[in-house]
């Protein structure tokens, strides 16, 4: 029951902590507690046939289990400080990039070799974007694809399973500070450790807030990103996606000077449901295997909102908007861009007649009844701006799924070691509010593991 290090959460942050600890100091006794299932047992029951929409499983297999929220993701590892989190503000820009490259090397060693690394360096699209008031952010992106990402996770688990003790289906209920370290409580047992790494991701956001309040760790409100997922024929963006795979483009709207950005681009991919704390939102992914690819490309268009005084609950605001879409559509709503502009709802027959086949079964409806005007206006402006570099984006049949919400955890107060005010208690990954991506979360895991091993 006693460990040197206990890691809470087996997402990329937790996995890379465990991996690096096993490498740097194989003598350490390490345990990982994970609320969700082992990788092989993770299955979402939605089959599109008998079960068509989310049935709110006790633990969501999309968000939880070995591999965390990243397990069935597109496996896009962005190597950049420009987006994906603010890890560099804590550990320095060069260090952050070095760790992201190191994570990439490990992924290559465990099954990712042969996958493509794309880069914006020297791209002609930068100039083209700027000419239309669009700004292409710098990044290198390794696209593993959902299939290879899964293989990498399987291989890393095979390596780790004899070196680290895993407890699956075992949510941690409390963390208690003791004289020599910490007590980590589950529903059945209590375990002790000298060092504790909390890496509970977005699905653990509410739990994380509770732990911070119990342990007197300060938190700050974070932003929430609200928008839609756009789906269009892959040809429309192929000139960009063939060269860059993912292009992160930012646009400042003329009407309100709000920033709208593209996010999580999935060439020839599929749109999927995402369940965060029982609220159904939309996301996307794509496969590396050409046989599993679709004819459509999808990406999100998001507007960031940050509330501080007197209303602080940015996530609550995002949740309310997502709930509204769930109330009107029973889940995710889909609307043709042409219908939105004409001020009418999409109907099943209008979607049926469109020259694009949706990859997600969503309820045809009217997003203008869900999204605040300011956000919707920004999205519409951006679609017209993108149409200039990718003609066809503003076609009537372009599909908009809503809502897409990126919830960010409260920012937990940690120092440059990612250590809280309690010595030996580290908070990393998306659960810390500092990272929002596979690469940053993984890098934060390696970082704290090295700090612990060095002690
Ligand atoms: C559909 C989808 C696609 C995505 N695509 C990409 C992409 O292509 N590129 C990219 O960079 N990012 C992507 N992301 C985001 C990315 O998955 C996350 O940024 C990343 O997984 C964060 O890693 P993490 O380890 O911090 O947290 P998570 O991956 O969320 O893992 C946290 C783990 O902790 C567990 N946990 C929570 N609470 C407890 C508790 N109390 N006790 C025990 N365990 C607990 C959870 O079950 C979970 O398994 C995607 C996300 C989704 C949902």
CA of 128 to the centre of ligand 1 (A): 34
Q: Is the CB of 288 under 6 A from ligand 1?
A: no
Predicted pLDDT of residue 268:
96
Is the separation of the CB atoms in 363 and 107 below 8 Å?
Answer: no
276 Cβ neighbours under 8 A, 6+ residues apart: 63, 202, 203, 405, 407
The per-residue pLDDT of the chain, averaged, comes to: 94
Q: Which atom of ligand 1 is nearest to the CA of 75?
A: 8
Predicted pLDDT of residue 59:
86
Predicted pLDDT of residue 23:
97
Predicted pLDDT of residue 4:
98
Distance (Å) of CA 149 to CA 73, 289, 417: 8, 12, 28
In this structure, is the dihedral angle defined by the CA atoms of residues 3, 414, 405 and 221, taken in order, positive or negative?
positive
How far out from the chain centre does Cα 273 lie? 13
Q: Is the pLDDT of residue 308 over 90?
A: no
CA of 68 to the centre of ligand 1 (A): 4
Is the separation of the CB atoms in 21 and 212 below 8 Å?
Answer: no
Q: 370 - beta bridge partners?
A: none
> Closest residue (by CA) to atom 26 of ligand 1?
429
Which tops the pLDDT comparison, 310 or 136? 136
Q: 194 - beta bridge partners?
A: none
Q: Which atom of ligand 1 is nearest to the CA of 14?
A: 25
The pLDDT > 70 percentage for the chain reads 99
Give 139-155 pLDDT, tens digit per residue: 899 999 889 999 999 99
Predicted pLDDT of residue 357:
96
In which band, very low, low, confident or very high, does the pLDDT at 437 lie, cut at 50, 70 and 90? very high
Predicted pLDDT of residue 288:
79
Is the separation of the CB atoms in 287 and 336 below 8 Å?
Answer: no
Q: Is the pLDDT of residue 54 over 80?
A: no
The pLDDT > 90 percentage for the chain reads 83
Give 178-199 pLDDT, tens digit per residue: 999 999 999 999 999 999 999 9
Compute the distance between CA of residue 382 and CA of residue 143 in angstroms, rounded to an integer. Answer: 25
Predicted pLDDT of residue 415:
98
Q: Is the CB of 8 under 6 A from ligand 1?
A: yes
In which band, very low, low, confident or very high, does the pLDDT at 42 lie, cut at 50, 70 and 90? very high
Give 225-242 pLDDT, tens digit per residue: 999 999 999 999 999 999
Q: Is the pLDDT of residue 15 over 80?
A: yes
Exposed/middle/buried for residue 124 (C-beta within 10 Å: 0-12, 13-18, 19+): exposed
Which of 7, 8, 9 has most ligand 1 atoms within 8 Å of CB, for mutation? 9
CA of 201 to the centre of ligand 1 (A): 5
Nearest to 10 by CA among 168, 180, 147: 168
pTM of the model: 0.88
In which band, very low, low, confident or very high, does the pLDDT at 451 lie, cut at 50, 70 and 90? very high
Exposed/middle/buried for residue 202 (C-beta within 10 Å: 0-12, 13-18, 19+): buried
Give 357-393 pLDDT, tens digit per residue: 999 999 999 999 999 999 999 999 999 999 999 999 9
Predicted pLDDT of residue 47:
74
And the tokens for 234?
């892959």
Average pLDDT over residues 154-167: 98
In which band, very low, low, confident or very high, does the pLDDT at 450 lie, cut at 50, 70 and 90? very high
Is the separation of the CB atoms in 229 and 401 below 8 Å?
Answer: yes
* Cβ neighbours around 390 below 10 Å, total: 21
Q: Is the pLDDT of residue 1 over 80?
A: no
113 Cβ neighbours under 8 A, 6+ residues apart: none
In this structure, is the dihedral angle defined by the CA atoms of residues 424, 429, 432 and 435, taken in order, positive or negative?
positive
Q: Scanning the structure block, which residue is given the tokens 């070095």?
A: 98
Nearest to 39 by CA among 172, 187, 169: 169
Predicted pLDDT of residue 46:
78
Give 66-117 pLDDT, tens digit per residue: 999 989 888 999 999 999 999 999 999 999 999 999 999 999 999 999 999 9
Q: Is the pLDDT of residue 57 over 90?
A: no
CA of 392 to the centre of ligand 1 (A): 33
> Closest residue (by CA) to atom 19 of ligand 1?
437
Give 328-338 pLDDT, tens digit per residue: 988 999 999 99
Q: Is the pLDDT of residue 347 over 90?
A: yes
375 Cβ neighbours under 8 A, 6+ residues apart: 226, 227, 258, 303, 305
Is the separation of the CB atoms in 365 and 333 below 8 Å?
Answer: yes
Exposed/middle/buried for residue 399 (C-beta within 10 Å: 0-12, 13-18, 19+): buried
């Amino acid at each position: 029951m006693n460990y040197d290090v206990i890691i809470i959460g087996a997402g990329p942050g937790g996995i890379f902590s465990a991996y690096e600890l096993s490498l740097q100091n194989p003598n350490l006794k390490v345990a990982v507690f994970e609320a969700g299932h082992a990788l092989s047992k993770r299955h979402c029951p939605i089959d599109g046939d008998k079960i068509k929409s989310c049935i709110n499983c006790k633990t969501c297999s999309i968000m939880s289990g070995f591999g965390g929220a990243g397990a069935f993701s597109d496996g896009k590892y962005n190597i950049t400080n420009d987006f994906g989190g603010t890890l560099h503000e804590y550990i320095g820009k060069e260090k952050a990039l070095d760790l992201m490259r190191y994570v990439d090397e490990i992924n290559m060693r465990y099954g990712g070799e042969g996958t493509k690394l794309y880069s914006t360096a020297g791209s002609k699209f930068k100039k083209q974007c700027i000419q239309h008031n669009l700004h292409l952010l710098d990044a290198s992106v390794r696209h593993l694809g959902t299939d290879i990402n899964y293989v990498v996770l399987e291989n890393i688990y095979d390596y780790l399973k004899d070196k680290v003790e895993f407890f699956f289906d075992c949510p941690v209920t409390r963390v208690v500070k003791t004289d020599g370290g910490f007590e980590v409580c589950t529903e059945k047992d209590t375990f002790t450790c000298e060092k504790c790494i909390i890496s509970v991701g977005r699905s653990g956001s509410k739990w994380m807030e509770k732990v911070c309040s119990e342990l007197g760790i300060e938190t700050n409100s974070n932003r929430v990103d609200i928008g839609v997922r756009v789906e269009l024929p892959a040809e429309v963006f192929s000139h960009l996606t063939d060269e860059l795979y993912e292009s992160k483009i930012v646009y400042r709207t003329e009407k309100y000077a709000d920033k709208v950005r593209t996010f999580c681009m999935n060439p020839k991919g599929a749109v999927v449901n995402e369940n965060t704390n029982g609220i159904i939102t939309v996301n996307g992914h794509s496969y590396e295997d050409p046989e599993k690819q679709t004819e459509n490309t999808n990406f999100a268009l998001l507007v960031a909102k940050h509330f501080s005084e007197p209303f602080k609950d940015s996530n609550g605001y995002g949740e309310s908007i997502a709930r509204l879409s769930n109330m009107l559509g029973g889940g995710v709503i889909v609307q043709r861009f042409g219908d939105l502009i004409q001020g009418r709802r999409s109907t099943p027959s209008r979607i049926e007649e469109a020259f694009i086949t949706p990859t997600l079964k969503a309820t045809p409806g009217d997003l203008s009844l869900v999204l605040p005007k300011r956000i919707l206006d920004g999205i519409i402006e951006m679609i017209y701006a993108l149409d200039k570099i990718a003609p066809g984006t503003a076609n009537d049949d372009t599909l908009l799924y809503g809502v897409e919400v990126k919830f960010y955890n409260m920012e937990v107060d940690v120092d440059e070691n990612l250590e809280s005010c309690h010595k030996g208690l580290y908070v990393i990954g998306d659960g810390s509010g500092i990272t929002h991506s596979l690469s940053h979360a993984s890098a934060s895991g390696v970082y704290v593991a090295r700090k612990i091993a060095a002690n």
